[in-house]
Amino acid sequence: MILIDGKKAAAELREELKHEVTGLKAKYNKVPGLTVILIGDLTPSQIYVRNKEKSANEVGLKSEVIKYPDSIEEKKVLEKIEELNKDETVSGILVQLPLPKHIDKQKVIETILPSKDVDGFHPMNVGNLSSGYESSVPCTPLGCYLLIKKVEPNLNGKKAVIVGRSNLNGKPMTQLLLKENCTVTITHSKTKDLKAECLEADIIIAAVGIPELVRGDWVKKDTIVIDVGINKTDNGIVGDVHFDEVSKNAKALTPVPGGVGPMTIACLLKNTIDCFKRSLS
Ligand code: NAP
């Protein structure tokens, strides 16, 4: 079984991006800039943002974090986004989710210029992705896609089963695999026989949020299994896939932690650089 090393893949991607930023700086005398807005003091959000900032600095991006207290008015946040939209030194804007209840998430997402939407959540980017046009792609599915391509460069005609239909993971993942000519089945909580669906798959992407849902006897030999889940349990962090069981059957599997997670941040940096490059043309 191939253990798909997300840490290594993310380090390689960061290295490539670092070279790219050096080249862009030499050619245009400016570097891509990422601005993250962090509202409130949720510990996981603070950790994510710190890691994003560290990685952005590592590859040579101009990185800025704007922090607001939980009590910040929605209007102030929207005004700041409008200001960043106009700022030529800012290539990408990310508002860390979740937001306090009084702030309308959709309004925030739709205020970010689609060309600076490094999360790929703006309806314009969602539409472009599903129409097969150039767009920012949400970072986690993009990371999954790059990991799959490392194991299997030619996905033509492969049967992919996606477990979970969230806007964040399952749906964009579907579009990425359709583009690669996979036959895609998207499953969810009302799917009648999830095990039977998974047993058909050459590729399984589990993005559910249920610890170890996908079992060893759900996976046929030669299947590539990507585990997006991050679940806190009494036994520590586990994925949506039963690692010990599935590793006995699968052709390749991502561990949790150390699989998809590290790729998510590296893909955010990639998206920022891609936004910068599109702004030049
Ligand atoms: P989400 O928005 O809660 O969506 C979960 C999806 O799973 C829904 O579509 C739901 O179906 C489906 N589902 C629930 N129970 C099911 C079942 N028994 N069988 C089949 N499908 C079922 O979750 P998410 O935001 O996509 O996150 C999923 C997991 O990924 C979480 O563990 C999260 O922490 C993790 N995550 C990891 C990263 C990373 O960087 N590695 C990034 C983001 C999220 P319905 O639509 O019918 O309700």
- Residues near 187 by beta carbon (within 8 Å), at least 6 away in sequence: 161, 162, 163, 164, 165, 194, 197
The number of residues making up the chain comes to 281
274 is catalytic: no
Residue 8 lies in a domain: no
DSSP SS3 for 40: coil
| 69 and 148 co-located in one domain | no
Residue 100's domain spans which residues?
28-113
Measuring from atom 30 of ligand 1, which residue has the nearest CA?
Answer: 229
Q: Tens-of-pLDDT digits for all 281 residues of the chain?
A: 999 999 999 999 999 999 999 999 999 999 999 999 999 999 999 999 999 999 999 999 999 999 999 999 999 999 999 999 999 999 999 999 999 999 999 999 999 999 999 999 999 999 999 999 999 999 999 999 999 999 999 999 999 999 999 999 999 999 999 999 999 999 999 999 999 999 999 999 999 999 999 999 999 999 999 999 999 999 899 999 999 999 999 999 999 999 999 999 999 999 999 999 999 98
Tell me if 227 sits within 8 A of 241, measured CB to CB.
yes
| 162 and 108 co-located in one domain | no
Cα–Cα distance between 123 and 109 in angstroms, integer? 8
Residue 253 lies in a domain: yes
96 is catalytic: yes
Cα–Cα distance between 262 and 74 in angstroms, integer? 31
Residue 127 lies in a domain: no
Residue 53 lies in a domain: yes
- Residues near 85 by beta carbon (within 8 Å), at least 6 away in sequence: 93, 111, 112, 113, 116
**Residue 182 belongs to a domain with what CATH number?**
3.40.50.720
**Residue 105 bridge partners (DSSP):** none
Ligand 1 atom nearest residue 169's Cα: 26
Measuring from atom 2 of ligand 1, which residue has the nearest CA?
Answer: 166
Distances (CA, A) of 153 to 4, 150, 249: 14, 6, 21
Identified catalytic residue from 62, 96, 116, 270: 96
| 208 and 248 co-located in one domain | yes
Identified catalytic residue from 119, 202, 227, 240: 119
| 77 and 147 co-located in one domain | no
For the entire predicted model, the pTM comes to 0.97
25 is catalytic: no
List, in sequence order, the alpha helices (H) in the chain: 6-28, 43-58, 74-86, 105-111, 123-131, 139-151, 170-179, 194-199, 243-247, 260-280
User: Which protein residues are within 6 Å of ligand 1, measured from CB?
Assistant: 140, 163-166, 168-170, 187-191, 194, 207-210, 228-231, 260-261, 264
**Residue 253 bridge partners (DSSP):** 3, 225
Residue 156 lies in a domain: yes
Tally the domains of the chain.
Answer: 2
- What six digits make up the tokens of 239? 């994925």
Residue 66 lies in a domain: yes
| 86 and 192 co-located in one domain | no
| 178 and 228 co-located in one domain | yes
| 39 and 101 co-located in one domain | yes
Domain stops at, among 55, 78, 113: 113
> How many Å lie between the centroid of ligand 1 and the Cα of residue 220?
22
DSSP SS3 for 48: helix
